[in-house]
Amino acid sequence: MDEWQQNRLAEVVLGDIQFDCPMGQYTTLRAGGRAEAVCFPCRLEMLQQIVSFLGMEKIPYMAVGRGSNLLIRESGFKGVIIILKGELATIEREGMNLFSGAGLSIPELISYCSANGLTGLEFLAGIPGSVGGAAAMNAGAFDKDAGSMISHLFLITGTGEQLRLDQSELKFQYRSMSVPEGAVIFKVCFELDEITPEAVRTRATVYLKKRRQTQPLEYPNAGSVFKNPLNDFAGRLIEEAGLKGERVGGAMISQRHGNFIVNAGGASANDILELMELAADRVEALTGIRLEPEIKIV
């Protein structure tokens, strides 16, 4: 971006912007290169202006939630990272429909559901991402996925227009869904059921306990690194290849779960990528299966 573009963008977000920003602070892996800019729109009108402006100026952009499924290469991102907050991270209820801003964190979502006796999303307990990220990636665990609970969502198109898409239009698949190119999700509607708050809390606690028993939550990580191949599990294949505990620099394949790469201390994006490549190569040599990344590499 040139100086005029930077100044104009800063005006739109009322100065809530960081330039030449190290992305490790905005990803759960605590690693990654720099983004040309990170901005924090807090109102829908602000988001519309940002997307319209970046589109007209042909400046690359990407919406990021809590960075729980993301790795920015050391070479960085030449463009603008958009992180939603304020009005775009709030929650409202209409009967059994729960409208959540895309910037809301999953822990905040689960906390609201627990307090209000809304059931259906407990399986997400312990996932550190955002609602928008969970929708975009069709986040899942324990044979359940977010897409099955989403009635519809709202987004800003690449030209700054609002658009509503129903579940049938989103074409949810394993760890993905379909939205127009350049679109940014700003609100998600979940269709839930009602039980007692105590029952919701109990269910969420059960899922959280399972997660803590099997996943290395004590280290910075990005969740599952690879997609599960058809009728198998990436973690099992990595463990069978004897890769638990394997390290490259500060990056390590978890001793607790083979499909988790953790930042054991000072890991760079290059360390993580090299370890991912090593694991994929070793598994392919052993089984003929090439593991595909689940985390988004930018």
Active-site residue set: 175, 224, 294
| Straight-line distance from the first to the last Cα atom of the chain, in angstroms, rounded to the nearest whole number | 18
Sheet of 17-22, strands arranged across: 17-22, 34-39, 77-82, 61-63
Per-position DSSP letters for the chain, written without gaps between them = --HHHHHHHHHHTTT-EEEEEEGGGGSTT----EEEEEE---SHHHHHHHHHHHHHTT--EEE-SSSTTEE--TT-EEEEEE---GGGG-EEEETTEEEEETTSBHHHHHHHHHHHTEES-GGGTT--SBHHHHHHTT-EETTEEGGGGEEEEEEE-TTS-EEEEEHHHH--BTTB----TT-EEEEEEEE-EE--HHHHHHHHHHHHHHHHHHS-TTS-B-S--BPPPTTS-HHHHHHHTT-TT-EETTEEE-SS-TT-EEE-SS--HHHHHHHHHHHHHHHHHHHS----B-SEE-
Contacts of 25 (CB under 8 A, 6+ apart): none
Nearest to residue 41, comparing CAs of 31, 33, 51? 51
User: Bridge-partner residues for 292, per DSSP?
Assistant: none
